[in-house]
Structure 1
């Protein structure tokens, strides 16, 4: 009996891993309905109970959301993100305060630890961000802006901080969209740009990088309080 239980648990874990990978690698984007239980059974070659347990486990962590009579939808890109969304909801002020806590130290580490490849990546993302801003493609702009901040933290090469920050992906993107809507328009591009932060990281100036990140987020907090 223990051996059978171990085999069953291992099979469920394998299905969980496959479903998680489909979400984290973007095969199933946020808000999209995943294949039906019957389709997953056919694709994975396992029983309905195994699929059901795996989906239930990922719904419990916040990665998936089961809507009775409608299907199962992707709710977050990681379990960390799902937990954060349940805990803090969408309170913009709280999200920005947490961002400031992580991003200031993330910028400092990035300036100290970044590689030339990291710097090139930052400038590439900023170029794409500026084009989307100029063309008024706000949804794309919000995603790319969040991508830039993730790239900054990643450039610090601290795996724990990077994973913690990655868990904020959805709420960060939502906060970018919300703060952009306060003062939208291409005429605000210099005001809300991140070129100073990228230059500080490229120059390996840790104090300036931290100040750039802190000043930007402090400005956003002031902006939402006066909006």
Structure 2
């Protein structure tokens, strides 16, 4: 297997952002075929000197490349190229996915979160839900983008009340795709022209169900609300 960096020096980087630049330069070497599969990469010290950065920057860059499936560290042997095409991470896959596909998964996640929230909510969670509902109503006087942000904030409060960090992380990753799709939906369908607080009744019922600790009602209410939105997205 190849030892060291064929093709000459990697190239000194500009000062910032160093990690991102290091990742890009090393990725180009790998995906461009300079370092084929099986190549052992130079050590951190050599790479750091070649790139003009510190070892910690190289370490972070290699970690990112490992996360992308391009390299793998072998204990006591070094870091080796294992693929020349990156595996898309979760966030990238979401950005490429159709918003309806993402929304279907959102329904599964949030309905379960609503049930957990009804069982686990604290007094602080209820206060946060009430504040988010008030914020959503106040956004009824704002534009579609601001209204969607307030709507997402309420749903985020529901997920937070479930007290499951994995659910919270998944929801957070969905937000950029959801926001774009929901703003487009409101713009195209004009749903708020006659009803600026579109969906207020359903969201108020959801908050009430969670406050009452009624998991079944919370799940049913949210499923109906999200299913209606999904149907509208499919109509676009």
Query: Partners of 2:58 and 2:181 in 1: how far apart?
Result: 34
Give the match for residue 33 of structure 2. Answer: none
Per-residue Cα deviation, 1:172-207 (whole angstroms, up to 9, x for no partner): 322332332233436324542211111111111111
Give the match for residue 20 of structure 1. Answer: none
Which segments of 5 or more consecutive residues in structure 2 lack a partner in the other structure?
1-12, 19-47, 69-88
Which segments of 5 or more consecutive residues in structure 1 lack a partner in the other structure?
1-35, 63-81
| Structure having greater relative contact order (Cα 8 Å, sep ≥ 6) | 1
Give the match for residue 199 of structure 2. Answer: 192
Whether 1:85 and 2:92 are equivalent positions in the alignment is yes
Give the CA deviation at 1:225. Answer: 2.8
RMSD between superposed Cα atoms in Å: 3.0
Give the match for residue 101 of structure 1. Answer: 108
- In the superposition, the TM-score normalised over structure 1's length comes to 0.63
Which protein shows a greater Rg? 2
Query: Partners of 1:170 and 1:226 in 2: how far apart?
Result: 21
Matched-pair contact (CA < 8 Å) for 1:40–1:51: no
Count residues in correspondence.
Answer: 169
Aligned equivalent of 1:113, options 111, 114, 120:
120
Whether 1:122 and 2:99 are equivalent positions in the alignment is no
Whether 1:203 and 2:208 are equivalent positions in the alignment is no
Query: Partners of 2:219 and 2:99 in 1: how far apart?
Result: 22
Using a 3 Å threshold, how does the CA distance of structure 1 residues 151 and 88 change in structure 2: closer, same or farther?
Answer: same
Aligned equivalent of 2:226, options 217, 222, 226:
217
Query: Partners of 1:140 and 1:60 in 2: how far apart?
Result: 38
Greater share of residues in helix:
1
Query: Partners of 1:220 and 1:214 in 2: how far apart?
Result: 10
Matched-pair contact (CA < 8 Å) for 2:140–2:197: no
- In the superposition, the TM-score normalised over structure 2's length comes to 0.61
Using a 3 Å threshold, how does the CA distance of structure 1 residues 131 and 84 change in structure 2: closer, same or farther?
Answer: same
Per-residue Cα deviation, 1:101-143 (whole angstroms, up to 9, x for no partner): 001111111111101111111121222222223222x223222
Matched-pair contact (CA < 8 Å) for 1:134–1:186: no
Of 202-211 and 88-97, more deviation after overlay is shown by: 88-97
Equivalent position SS for 1:188: coil
Per-residue Cα deviation, 1:138-187 (whole angstroms, up to 9, x for no partner): 22322222222121011011222222222222223223323322334363
